[in-house]
Amino acid sequence: MKLLNKKIENSQAFLTIQLESAEVEEELKKSYKRLVEEVNIPGFRKGRAPRSVLEQHIGKQGLLDDALDRLLSRACADAIQEHKIKLIAEPDIKVTQTDPVVFEATIPLPPTVNLADYHRIKMKPELVKLKKDDVSAVIEKLRRNNATWDPVDRPLKANDIAVIDVGSSIDGKPFITEENAHYQVSLGTPFPAPGFAEKLLKMKRDEEKEFKLKLKENYPNSELAGKEALFKVKVIEVKEENMPELNDDFAKSIAPVIKDLDSLKKQIAKDLKNNDEEKSRMDFEEKLIDALVEKSELEFPPIMVDAEVNHMVNQHLERLRMTSGSKEEYDKRLEVMPEEELRSKYRPIATKRVSRSLVLNQVAEAEKIEVSATEIDDEIERMTKNAGDKKEEQHKILNTPRNRESINTMLTMQKTIQRLTEIAKGTSRKNKTKKEAK
């Protein structure tokens, strides 16, 4: 074995290696002895066909491929050991020529992180300010959610519900056909085509109308995108929204613990403030971690991002399967954004995730952050608290070594982010101790 070239770049080692003819021949003999016992060759009993006959039967390349399957990985492992290369995943091996045999190995190396001085990063979260209109908006939404839709004898107006029979065609072929469809007349909606809701305005019960509309250029079905559809609509019924009166009775209907309208408003204000504070906390943590990543120097092999992309794509496809009623629906939804587009979409996010994870791991190491077995037990208890009859089953699943390790990683990250937050806001005990010493 001869090393022709070695290059380190982008946290990867690139080796070009030439195999000696003798070692290739030795492996070819082993492949011949093994394959001749397995392959049926007319006119010969198993194990008795000469090598030249076996080569004619499976091809010289077939014999060489079998030999290289074993030889290349062994030769690459020897080269890695000889040159004391530390790797984090299996190398990618590619044969570039066969006479003599030369192959290239791409070896992913451990990432390098030059962590910035996170003690110098100072920032504070944005103050949460609740607006009076926010509470009113929630109350209006609750009223709408509890509204009734009652038939009326008048022309259709915006936001009414139209009960309609609709038939349509594109280029003479059926497009949408439904009876007694409930359609809310929301102006500006692009479904089923831009302008459809507007065409229904002022129509009365039992009235019929025929009109043409052009579908959007980015319509999910590319074969129909931009085409003109002919619609025939008959109004069966007009329904208007009747929202409940804003009083104590309405407030009590929202939740048993609510006593009157005033207590409902207070509860909504409290919930909104909690939500805003949680969002502010998360936004602050995001900015803090991003600031540390930006100031730090990172280098990691592409395989780390590839693995995260694979994980995200698989999660997306699984969600798609779970929410699709059939394989046909799943395939249709996948056509809107094929897997390759998904990979392109998730790659920047995956790169960001890998960068953040590497930086946080370094902070955890520097701060000597650890999670005890008791903390993991407490977290499992918290996660299964509302499992009811399935609590014991879920507890057993979460208590496996693999899941305990995942929980350990999650809690370590939470503690690390909390420590960074304390340092950035100047509330860390270490910071206070330094000030006290001064």
pLDDT score for 129: 84
Helices 21-35, 60-82: axis angle to 10 degrees equals: 130
DSSP 41: -
pLDDT score for 431: 52
Q: Are residues 41 and 53 in contact, defined by beta-carbon separation less than 8 angstroms?
A: yes
Whether the per-residue pLDDT at 437 is higher than 60: the answer is no
Highest mean pLDDT among 219-223, 358-362, 383-387: 358-362
Query: Could you tell me the end-to-end alpha-carbon distance of the chain, in angstroms, rounded to an integer?
Result: 63
CA 125, distance to chain mean position in Å, is 27
164 contacts: CB under 8 Å, gap ≥ 6 = 178, 180, 181, 183, 200, 233, 234, 235, 236
Strand partners, 95: 103
Put simply, whether the predicted model's pTM sits higher than 0.75 gets the answer: no
- Domains (range + CATH), the chain: 2-110 (3.30.70.1050), 148-242 (3.10.50.40), 261-437 (1.10.3120.10)
Burial class from Cβ neighbours inside 10 Å (0-12, 13-18, 19+) for residue 237 reads middle
Q: Are residues 220 and 239 in contact, defined by beta-carbon separation less than 8 angstroms?
A: no
* Backbone dihedral angles phi then psi of residue 105, each to the nearest 5 degrees: -120, 125
What one-character-per-residue DSSP string does 3-33 give?
EEEEEEETTEEEEEEE--HHHHHHHHHHHHH
* Average pLDDT over every residue of 99-103: 92
Kindly report, residue by residue over 3-20, the tens digit of the pLDDT.
889 999 999 999 999 999
Kindly report, residue by residue over 306-356, the tens digit of the pLDDT.
999 999 999 999 999 999 888 888 888 888 888 899 999 999 999 999 999
Q: Are residues 21 and 100 in contact, defined by beta-carbon separation less than 8 angstroms?
A: yes
Kindly report, residue by residue over 191-211, the tens digit of the pLDDT.
899 999 999 999 999 999 999
Written as six digits, the tokens of 196 are: 């459809």
pLDDT score for 205: 96
Written as six digits, the tokens of 86 are: 């530390």
Give the confidence band of 438 by pLDDT, cuts at 50, 70, 90: very low
SS3 content of the chain, % helix, strand, coil (to 5): 50, 20, 30
Among left, alpha and beta (phi > 0; psi -120 to 50; other), residue 415 is: alpha
pLDDT score for 436: 47
Kindly report, residue by residue over 47-93, the tens digit of the pLDDT.
888 888 888 889 888 999 999 998 999 999 999 999 999 999 999 99
**Which residue's entry shows tokens 């056509």?**
335
